[in-house]
Structure 1
Amino acid sequence: MQAETSHPTVPNLIHTNKPSRLALKWKEMKKSKHHYLLMSPYMLIFFTFTVIPVVFSLILSFTYFNMLEFPRFVGLQNYSRLLLDDDVFMIALKNTLLFALITGPISYIACFLFAWIINELSPKVRAFMTLVFYAPSIAGNVFFIWLIVFSGDRYGYLNGFLMKYGFKLEPTLWLTTEKYILPIIIIVQLWLSLGTSFLAFIAGLQTIDKSLVEAGAMDGIKNRWQELWYITLPSMRPQLMFGAVMQITASFAVADVSIALAGFPSVNYAGHTIVTHLIDYGTIRFEMGYASAIATVLFLMMIGANMLTQKLLRRVGE
């Protein structure tokens, strides 16, 4: 008999070609095509009026463009001029940072606290109080009221009050005295700050699942502050993030309040901000390349503030 030769068994190697990440993404997009179709009108408007202008502004910031001649590439000249030679921009930067550091956190916390308190009221009272707190942010003649309050003659409400009760003998020129301008602008902005963020917080508080509160009570939550930290705030992270973005934008992009109260430009640029500096070069001097550089710096500051806020909000409830 012929000896049988034994061969080692070699396992069958099955080569499976895993689809690439791009292919998986495309498959997922095809599966959700109806969602993308519904989003397409908004995305078209968003890209046309937000993304494309931002990209063009970034490109123009490296050019000299006066609206009459074709843009001329100048490299980093606009940025070096802005950061090294523009003393007025340094004043505007200091005012804007000071304004944002004060009004941003205070207005954000105030929006949430007022929304939290009002949410505990009955529906009819809650609706009325929401209107009362939200009304200043949409009032048309709000600056006219504050101009009367801080009027520099004896007929101004603040001067009249201080002189009536003997705190002052002569009226103070509040809006033309350098040391008073920025504090007044901050006060008025804080009064106007209960806007969209306030409504978003009210809506977020209305959507919190009551069963979470009951479960938290069973797990050892003993008071309203623990309930706020461990249940309320984590449950409304999207609204908190939206409110933070709105407050950051409002605090860094202040201009209307400064122009309406202190004039344009204000005394010794005491109320000058980055946005008023941008308006000066963009709509008065028509130095669009330089104005684009100012806008780019402001845009990067807002992105940095948003990233910092996101990191802080991730720690809520820990």
Structure 2
Amino acid sequence: MSDTAVRTQQAQQETKAVKGTGWGSRLLRHRTSILFLAPFFLLFLVFTVIPVFTAAGMSLTYYNILEPARWVGLENYKQLFLDDDIFLKAIGNTLTFAVFTGPLGYCMSFILAWLISNIPQKYRFFFTLCFYTPAITSSVAMSVVWLYLFSGDRYGLINHWLMKLGLFDEPWLWLQDVNTIMPVIVIVALWTSMGTGFLAFLAGLTNVSPELYEAGVIDGVRYRWQELWYITLPSVKPQLLFGAVLTIVSSLQVYDISMNLAGFPSTLYAGHTIMTHLYDYAFIRFEMGYAAAIAVVLFLLMVGLNRLIFNLLGERD
């Protein structure tokens, strides 16, 4: 028997040895893939799974760092939804913020990425840098600029313009008035919303095969909007899903813009969000059990919204 035949027979015997339907057989059969994935799973377990379960367990206790944790059951959740009016206001503010900044920021990111992808290659870097820079600029530095724009005295740039045009007789307290705090926060958030999702859209759009557009012309596609609807959007569906998940997470986790612009606490808690409430109880009051309950509620809210997005944009197969 030749060497080739011997090696083939040995390979067939090894295949039969590992072939099976049990977990052990499947793990042995895919051992190489599992070894490559092991570092990610280890990091995901240590920094995501374990902290989530730890927070869920801590939310059922009273823990103030100085004393041992004391079991209180669902008392923290009862207090959150029945006795904590500020938390309920924070939920309303957060959802209001997410409703405006989520869809608007998502659509703005995609439209700008689509427009940039249609300009010549040599100009794309300049426009990409212009729109992406606000997202990577320090929130403190951005707040300094916006604080100057929306300053409540006559030296604030917007007040100065409005008074010079005769629209206002006296300065408006943009960041102290309960009716304008949230709109200002939304405007600033939209300005800084061209982040990773914007880059993901741009990368997906620039990598759509030109052959698809040529085939579309043959099939009757005549207008740019038809190309967008029938060719471009289906081709960048993974990037659309990725951008949607990032938008949801960033919308629900807003707190730095609110704290830097409206202060902490804001006037009548008009700019108070779930993350601001979490920061208050975790790092100012050091009531870690109560803060963990807030974190669990925020986590479940994110999971629910992300599940909805996966059902809308995810692939069935």
Number of the residue aligned with 1:150 = 150
Alignment of 1:1-318 (within 5 A): 19-20=20-21, 22-23=23-24, 25-30=26-31, 33=32, 35-140=33-138, 141-314=141-314
Q: In the aligned structure 1, how far is the partner of 2:29 from the partner of 2:226?
A: 41
Which sits farther off after the overlay, 217-226 or 204-213?
217-226
Q: Which runs of 5+ in 2 are unaligned?
A: 1-18
Deviations 1:32-64 (A, max 9, x none): x1x443333333223222221111111111111
| Partner AA of 1:274 in structure 2 | I
| Partner AA of 2:121 in structure 1 | P
Q: In the aligned structure 2, how far is the partner of 1:302 from the partner of 1:131?
A: 30
| Partner AA of 1:273 in structure 2 | T
Deviation, 1:239, is: 1.2
SS of residue paired to 2:272: coil
| CA contact 2:241–2:314 (8 Å) conserved in 1 | no
Which sits farther off after the overlay, 253-262 or 216-225?
216-225
Deviation, 1:233, is: 1.5
Q: Indicate how the Cα distance of structure 1 residues 24 and 110 shifts in structure 2: closer, same or farther if over 3 A, else same.
A: farther
Number of the residue aligned with 2:10 = none
| Partner AA of 1:108 in structure 2 | Y
Which sits farther off after the overlay, 300-309 or 260-269?
300-309
Deviation, 1:147, is: 0.2
Which sits farther off after the overlay, 189-198 or 38-47?
38-47
How many residue pairs get aligned? The number is: 296
Q: Mark the structure with the bigger radius of gyration.
A: 1
Q: In the aligned structure 1, how far is the partner of 2:186 from the partner of 2:276?
A: 15
Deviations 1:172-193 (A, max 9, x none): 1111111110110001001110
Which sits farther off after the overlay, 56-65 or 224-233?
224-233
Normalising by the residue count of structure 1, what TM-score does the alignment of the two structures yield?
0.89
Deviation, 1:223, is: 2.0
Q: Which runs of 5+ in 1 are unaligned?
A: 1-17
Deviation, 1:314, is: 4.5
Deviation, 1:315, is: 8.7
| Partner AA of 1:126 in structure 2 | R
Q: In the aligned structure 2, how far is the partner of 1:87 from the partner of 1:262?
A: 20
Deviation, 1:123, is: 1.4
Number of the residue aligned with 1:15 = none
The CA RMSD over aligned residues, in Å, is 1.7
SS of residue paired to 1:173: coil
Deviation, 1:86, is: 0.3
SS of residue paired to 2:179: helix
Deviation, 1:24, is: 5.5
SS of residue paired to 1:70: coil
Q: In the aligned structure 2, how far is the partner of 1:49 from the partner of 1:311?
A: 26
| Partner AA of 1:19 in structure 2 | G
